[in-house]
Structure formats: structure tokens, C-alpha cells
Structure 1
């Protein structure tokens, strides 16, 4: 058995928390399981930076859902990574039309983003004594991003543990869920109140638009992120009708 270093907590987690639907669901999932849960957001000059502005309201909303969630919710952290945005010539970091690139990947793909995010998250978790790192990566409903694949996450877990002489567990509770199932998971975790909180306060739209209010939340309604979220919500409602 490997002993924990001084200050490490085996039942504590760090959640990659962007302010979107998936990361909010992951935060609820972690709060339902672990004694202490901290959150981490990244500012890399993303076009939809408004998502970061939603995080405080979502954290407070989650804390209000259950007394034990309020007790478990710990510190929030934000790391600025402007270099990632400067290196990335993508539709998430530039005001350009969203489209498929020559490689077959959508131009919303930011090369290395999840690898960078999880590496910085592990460095923070190491300092904070947290053993579990939770992310909303998903291989079922995704845009073909290679850094969302289960194989990528497993390989990165091995590399981080070797490089930091640690035993981090990278947890991806949404990996094999489609968007309808992600909505259903939120309902199981926090009932209609959590679904309503995600609809009202989370942000997913790649264009960063908060003007139009749809049944599934705010967004332009036509970008890939909005379409995925909207279609999942329709299927979720059909299953629960």
C-alpha cells in the first residue's frame, strides 16, 4: 500500500469547472461523493469567456441544493493561460466562422487544451493534497476531439503519476454518456432544481452569446455546442415525459 504524503486527502477532489453544462454536472457528481471538493477554471482567451463569469452563481446554486454539498464545496481557483490562446488559431480563440478544418477536425479544436488543463490541474492538486481530478471529457457525444478520448485520459494519468511520483485518479463520469444521459444524470444527482440551475446559469455556446433564452438555456442556438446541448435536452425530456 502506498502511503499518502503529509496533507493528502484520499476522498477529496479537484473538478475542472468551466461554467458549462458538463463541468457543472461533474461538480455535482463529485460533491455527491467526496468529503472536500475544490474547483478550477482556465482563462485562455476563449471566445466564450462568459462561461467563467457563470461559475460563481453555479457554485452558490449547487451549495444551496443540499446542506452536505455546501459543507463539501471548497476553494475555487482560476489559472490564466494566455499562451494557449495565443498559440491556437481556432474558432474558440478567434472571431472566425466555425467549420471543419483540413484535418477533418472542427476548427473549434484547441490543440493540447485538455492535456495542458489536466497537467496544470495535477500540479495544483499535488500542492493542495487532492488525489482525484474530475473532468467532463466525453467520447460519446463529442466533436471528434482526440484529447477527449478515454485512451488519451488513461495515458495522461500514467504520465502524470510517473512524472509527479503520485497516484492521481483522473475521473471522467461523462465519458460514456450522451447529452441526454448527462441531463438525466443531473436530475438523479440534484432533481429538477439542478436541471433548472444548469439551464439558467451554465454556459455552453461557443460564440459566447447570452441573449436568447431557449428551453435548454442560453446561446446562439446554431453552433455545434448549442446544437448538441439542445438535441440532448429534447431527447432527455422525451424520455422523462
Structure 2
């Protein structure tokens, strides 16, 4: 499998996160496969193991995983500017509703396994990108989600990471944001289980104008 993927040179996808040493996208292509040991190849290591953290200042050692690094919102903004991309999509961490935003929605964590390891009663989610570069989310809801969550009385601390924005905390984007070509990608928040796709356009949006919508399915 590749270490990363690009969508129309606007969206960068990887498993873990960004790397302080990733100065140009071409650096990824320079990594020779198969990998001997990722810990000796910093860019590959970070693409596979790095995590966002809202409290991180700069790139810091990832003490939880004992490998790679954590990075904050400022590093995401700088990476998008440096790599000439609008959005970063990654996985690697369980989030309660299957996906979560970070760094003014310039990074999205998507987790596609529901009820991860059974004890975590999380949604699964898939992000879809159409030919107009509009993003949509499909959520797969575990059975008895509300019942089990209510029985617990609180969220499992391992279930919702401390470094991404909860879907429930998401605020609707400014409707005029699409008129600002230099804005970071904006995502319109939708109420759970009331999916409504954003209006389609007949052309690829300008940079910083990626649209999203979401759909929820019971699983």
C-alpha cells in the first residue's frame, strides 16, 4: 500500500499525520518500498504514526505511542500552505461519531471501524469525494448506541480522543465563506440522523471552497 494519497492535488490522505520533515510532496515518492523499519525513516514514520493534538505547540514527541510526534493546529495550517493543499484526511484514532475535525477543519480524522475492539461503542464513518471535490460522510451507527452510552453515564475516555474536535461541538460554517477563495475548507455541520447534502455545483470549487455533507445509517 502507498504511504499517502492525493485527491486532485488538493486533499492529502495518510494513516497517521504530517511530518516536520515533509517539505514537499515529492519527498514521499522518494521513500523506497518495502520499508525496512519505519522508525529510521522520519517521514514514513510520521505518515504512519503521528497524531494531532490541540494543545501541541510545534512538533513534539508522541509520548503516548512512544514513536513519531504530535502536532498542533498551527502545524496543520503551515503544512497545507507549504504542500499547496486544502485538506488533510487521516485515520489512526477512534472518534465517537466516526469522524472529527481539527485545525479549523483543515484536518479530518476518519475512523471506519464501528464498535472498535467491542468495548468502544463508536460509529464508523466513510468520507466520499465526488468529481466536484465535494465531500460527504456516511456514518454507520452501532445498534443500541444511545442505550449503551446512557448506561455508561459518560463517554469512554478512550473512545473520544483529546486532540480532535467532537462532531457535536461543530458549529455551522459561515454561508458567505465560499465567497472567500483563501479561506480554509469549511464544513457545514448537520444534525445527527437528518442528512441533507449540500447544493451541488457544476464546476470544481476554487481552493478553500470544499463542501461537505453527511449521511447516517444504522449498522
Q: Shorter-chain-normalised TM-score: which range?
A: under 0.3
Relative to its length, the structure with more helix (as a share) is 1
Relative to its length, the structure with more strand (as a share) is 2
TM-score, structure 2 as length reference? 0.27
